[in-house]
Amino acid sequence: MKELLQDLSIYEKFNFEQAPVAVKFLLTKPDEGIKKLDKSMSLCEMITEARVRNEPFYITKDNESCVGKVALGMVDLEVPVEGGLVGPQFGIYQEARANHALYKHVHMFQRGLVNFVLFSTLGKLTFEPDLLILNTNVEQAEIIIRAMSYSTGDPIESKFTPALGCSWIFIYPFQTGKTNYMITGTTFGAKAKEAFTPGQFLFTIPYQQLPVLTQNLKNMEWYLPSYSDGREKFLKRDEKAFKEAEKAYNDALKLI
């Protein structure tokens, strides 16, 4: 397991109310010295558990008490569940056909590829993470969303389903290389189990995007004057910016 080489200290600047949590998926057992979790809970709850313990730990399939172990590919999906017989009982889906359609969209690991999942808060992180998970307020979220697009111009997307939210937190970002986010309290299992404080932004940054996002946070201005100047001052700034852009364009045309 590769030791941490990236400088992720920029995330400490946010002063998050809840510590960022790093995740790593492993085929083989983690390094000696990291303890196995001593209880069973759902995969989404382990994010908060990592914060409470503030010491790295790993899990196996017997630690996961919900469908997270299915998304992780640790066990097979049971036929009654895949057939959609569970969701309608809780009012998540109208009937079995809608619940069954869920499994065409969610992301899962191939069976047996992940046997261990390692968790650590950012402050105790010693390994290169596969995912970095952030719980933020709206002001912090604005900075992160802007950083996601700052050097690339790429659009920002949020993808999730009412059920199996853990798939979109853990598996989807890793497999697609796309940062994903959702609002806590909008997925069934996590809400029912009170896994997160409702109304927060929950971001999952995969390893493919982490270097870019981290560098953008280091380079860009976090608190834009336009957000604190007030409407009238912003409109004057906007007008001035447009005129300067128009002048630059016209000056360029003269050189053609």
Whether residue 83 is contained in a domain is answered as yes
In a domain, 87, yes or no: yes
Binned at pLDDT 50, 70 and 90, residue 25 comes out as very high
Give yes or no: residues 194 and 84 share one domain: yes
Same domain, 145 and 33: yes
- pLDDT, tens digit, for every residue of 169-200? 999 999 999 999 999 999 999 999 999 999 99
Residue 146 has pLDDT above 90, yes or no: yes
Are residues 247 and 134 part of one domain? no
- Read off the pTM: 0.93
pLDDT in tens, 47-61: 999 999 999 999 999
In a domain, 2, yes or no: no
Q: Is residue 184 domain-shared with residue 236, that is, in the same domain?
A: no
Mean pLDDT in the chain? 95
Same-domain status, 100 and 176? yes
Residue 50 lies in a domain: yes
Give the residue numbers spanning the domain of 243: 231-256
Q: Under a CB-based contact definition with an 8 Å cutoff, are residues 43 and 114 in contact?
A: no
- Of residues 223, 224, 175, 184, the one with CA closest to residue 203: 184
Same domain, residue pair 82 and 115: yes
| pLDDT exceeds cutoff 90 at 82 | no
205 Cβ contact list (under 8 Å, min separation 6): 131, 132, 133, 134, 173, 179, 213
Q: Are residues 37 and 158 in the same domain?
A: yes
Q: Same structural domain for residues 244 and 214?
A: no
Looking at the fold, whether 184 and 246 belong to one and the same domain comes out as no
Please name the residues in contact with 169: beta carbons below 8 A apart, sequence gap of 6 or more. 44, 47, 133, 180, 182, 202, 204
- Check residue 153 and give its pLDDT: 96
Residue pair 201/138 in contact by the 8 Å Cβ criterion: yes
97/155 same-domain check: yes
The one-letter code for the residue type at 242 is: F
Q: How many separate domains does the chain show? A: 2
Do 130 and 158 reside in the same domain of the chain? yes
Share of the chain above pLDDT 70, in %: 100
145 φ, ψ (degrees, to nearest 5) = -60, -40
1 domain residue, yes or no: no
Residue 144 lies in a domain: yes
In a domain, 200, yes or no: yes
Q: Helix or strand or coil: residue 104?
A: helix
Minimum mean pLDDT range among 61-65, 77-81, 114-118, 222-226 = 77-81
Residues 214 and 235 in one domain: no
Does residue 4 lie in a domain region? Answer: no
